[in-house]
Structure 1
């Protein structure tokens, strides 16, 4: 089964609501995402002070699926046409940067 990671760079829509953003991310968004088959773990990071012009947060999700696109499709299907509940806390300008990497087998 191919393994990979999904890397997401994001920021809160309103920097004054950083604590609310982190509460939503940890208590609602991560559990919802990790309930989707193929997403097996997640770790979050905050940009180190002094880094300017970068998204505030980085999330790294471990994926295990025959098709690494399948978990992303399943996530979109669960959310329907709308974004996930609470996603208004997530900056859309600029939007999150999402990149999927496939593990290179030696």
Structure 2
């Protein structure tokens, strides 16, 4: 089974709506996305200096990473997600699908590639 991430950059629709944006993202959107087959977890990051986009990293485990993203996009197109106008949609979010090629666990002091024992 392949592992990867779906990287997404978004912005609140206005600075004064950031709290509403964060609440919707954390309590509505992340659970919606993670209900799609293949999406197994998520993390969100905000710019440390307050400048720049917010980033969501969705973890994927699936035989076909692109197929998992296609299921996500189909659910979005079908109106299955509860969206909010607290998220900026113009321009649209920046997205990127990345496959896992190596992990490094500092505590275990080892590096491995998927499929290695």
Q: TM-score range by the shorter chain?
A: 0.7 to 0.9
Moved over 4 A (4+): none
RMSD: 1.8
2:66 to 65, 69, 77: 69
Paired residue for 1:104?
101
Secondary structure in 2 aligned to 1:89? coil
Measure, in 2, the Cα distance between the counterparts of 1:61 and 1:71.
Answer: 11
1:3 and 2:3 correspond:
yes
- Unmatched segments (≥5 aa) in structure 2: 103-112
- Unmatched segments (≥5 aa) in structure 1: none
Q: Report the alpha carbon displacement of residue 8 of structure 1 after superposing the two structures with TM.
A: 0.8
Which structure has more relative contact order (CA 8 Å, sep 6+)? It is 1
Deviation readout 1:59-99 (Å, 9 max, x if unpaired) = 11111111111222212222335583224221123321111
| Structure 1 pair 35–25 and aligned structure 2 pair: CA distance change class (3 A) | same
Equivalent residue pairs, number: 103
Paired residue for 1:32?
32
Measure, in 2, the Cα distance between the counterparts of 1:40 and 1:93.
Answer: 28
TM-score (norm 1): 0.85
Larger radius of gyration: 2
TM-score (norm 2): 0.78
